[in-house]
Amino acid sequence: MHISEGVLSAPVLGAGMALAFAGTAVGLKKLKEDKIPRTAVLSAAFFVASLIHVPIGPSSVHLILNGILGLMLGWIAFPAILIALLLQGVLFQFGGITTLGVNTVIMATPAVVCHYLFAGFVHKPKAISYAASFACGFLSVFFSSLVLGTALMFTQESFLAVAWAVVIAHLPVMFIEGLVAIFCVGFLKKVQPELLPKWSAARQQNTLAV
């Protein structure tokens, strides 16, 4: 989800840059030096996964996956998404320099929010875990479209209709992201649960329960 260049006003661009700077600073602070290669390879995986086009009716949408990214990386999602956007800019020329800050905030803030909302629930029993995963995938895209809409509204109040259109256009994407999140989290729980957050705490609880 991007805002093109040349749409937003100076204050909004400035605010986006300041917020992205702050978020990235927190993320980098939390990123231990020995975790850099790991984070980089995972970000690369997310970058590639976001190129997957999923069919929906006659058209197709590409996966965003910022919910799962947030779940796995927490605050580190900020630098990871900043880099992914920069890569998209240089490799495919989606988005560019002036909107880098705003677009990072649009994608990364919901990722961090979803981490804090849902990280505690993914290791719970089936139904709760499914619900949390779906909400994580769905809401991450929903929040992103809201932030995008807000950025448009702060630029010019006449963008209201456009902002609504953006949110509505992303509704199918939200459902798909929710479904993909359920299956993806379920898969990771079976195959490599330590990739998901709070695994050690959940394991301890499980062994105590047994």
Partner 1 sequence: MIEEIFASGHSFIHKIDPRCRLVAATLLCFVIALGQKMPVLWAGLGLSVILVLWARLNLVHVFRRLLVIWGFLLFLWIILPFTYDGDVVRQIGKLGATRQGIGLCTVISIKSNAILLMFIALIATMDFSTLGYALNFFKIPEKLVQLLLLTYRYIFVIEQEYRRLVRAVKLRGFRPGTNMHTYRTYAYLCGMLFVRASARAQRVYNAMKCRGFSGRFICLHEFALSPADKIWTLAALTVTVCLIFMEITL
Distance CA 147, CA 181 (A): 21
CA separation, residue 183 to residues 94, 157, 200 (Å): 29, 39, 22
| Contact residue for partner 1 among 83, 131, 153, 167 (CB under 8 A) | 83
Q: Beta strands 53-56 and 59-62: pairing type?
A: antiparallel
Asked if 183 touches partner 1 (CB under 8 A), the answer is: yes
Report angle CA 9, 23, 86 to the nearest 5 degrees: 65
Distance from the first to the final alpha carbon of the chain: 44
| Contact residue for partner 1 among 22, 54, 128, 201 (CB under 8 A) | 54
Q: Which of residues 9-48 bind partner 1 (CB under 8 A)?
A: 10, 13, 24, 28, 31, 33-34, 36-45, 47-48
What does the binding site for partner 1 look like in residue numbers (CB under 8 A)? Answer: 4-8, 10, 13, 24, 28, 31, 33-34, 36-45, 47-49, 51-52, 54-57, 63, 65, 68, 72, 79-80, 82-84, 86-87, 89-94, 96-98, 156, 158-162, 165, 176, 179-184, 187-188, 191-192, 195
